[in-house]
Amino acid sequence: MDTEQLRREAPRWVVDPVRDPFQPVRPPAAEGPAPESPVSQFRLGATWMQTGARLAVIDQKVFREGDELVGYRIVRIEPAKVLVQGRERVEEITFTSYRPDAPKTSWVPTNVGGVWLGPEREKLF
């Protein structure tokens, strides 16, 4: 052990500690993915800013500021987003925030040529 280097570096380590090198590094606790907010299932279709009225089309229905949308209160309608108040926080609905559910079936035809061309495919190949 180089005690001279320890004497030189010790003051810097006390003033500017980075990490105790003798403590084990532990990975963060696995909490799992955060549950996705239902707001991501809302589809913003349009916003309308006019004197005295701000309207938004969400899931093919027209809403004003203050209206309720499935347990969320519409706080503010802006040109490119709608702010909604949930139980815990304010979230936003944008034109690109919509995430549809995964498809119900995973069936994919394997004979694509046969599906597209039908029985006539024998004449083409």
- Residue 47 belongs to what H/E stretch? strand 44-50
**58: in domain:** yes
**Number of domain units in the chain:** 1
Q: What's residue 93's pLDDT?
A: 92
Q: What's residue 3's pLDDT?
A: 82
Q: Report the distance separating Cα 114 and Cα 40, nearest Å.
A: 38
- The answer to whether residues 34 and 24 touch, using CB atoms and an 8 Å cutoff, is no
Q: What's residue 82's pLDDT?
A: 95
**72: in domain:** yes
Q: Residue 42: is it exposed, middle or buried by C-beta count within 10 angstroms (0-12/13-18/19+)?
A: buried
Q: Report the distance separating Cα 76 and Cα 46, nearest Å.
A: 14
Task: List the CATH number of the domain containing 55.
Answer: 2.30.30.830
Q: Is residue 119 over pLDDT 60?
A: no
Q: Report the distance separating Cα 43 and Cα 98, nearest Å.
A: 5
Residue 61: band (very low, low, confident or very high) from pLDDT cuts 50, 70, 90: very high
Helix boundaries (H) for 1-111? 3-15
Predicted TM-score (pTM) of this structure: 0.54
What is the average pLDDT across 27-39? 67
CB environment 57-67: b (16+ within 10 A), e (fewer): ebeeeebeeeb
* Residues above pLDDT 90, as percent of the chain: 31
E-strand spans in 51-115?
53-58, 61-64, 68-69, 72-77, 81-85, 90-94
Q: Which domain holds residue 68?
A: 38-94
**43: in domain:** yes
Q: Is residue 123 over pLDDT 60?
A: no
**14: in domain:** no
Which of 56 and 100 is assigned the larger pLDDT? 56
Residue 34: band (very low, low, confident or very high) from pLDDT cuts 50, 70, 90: low
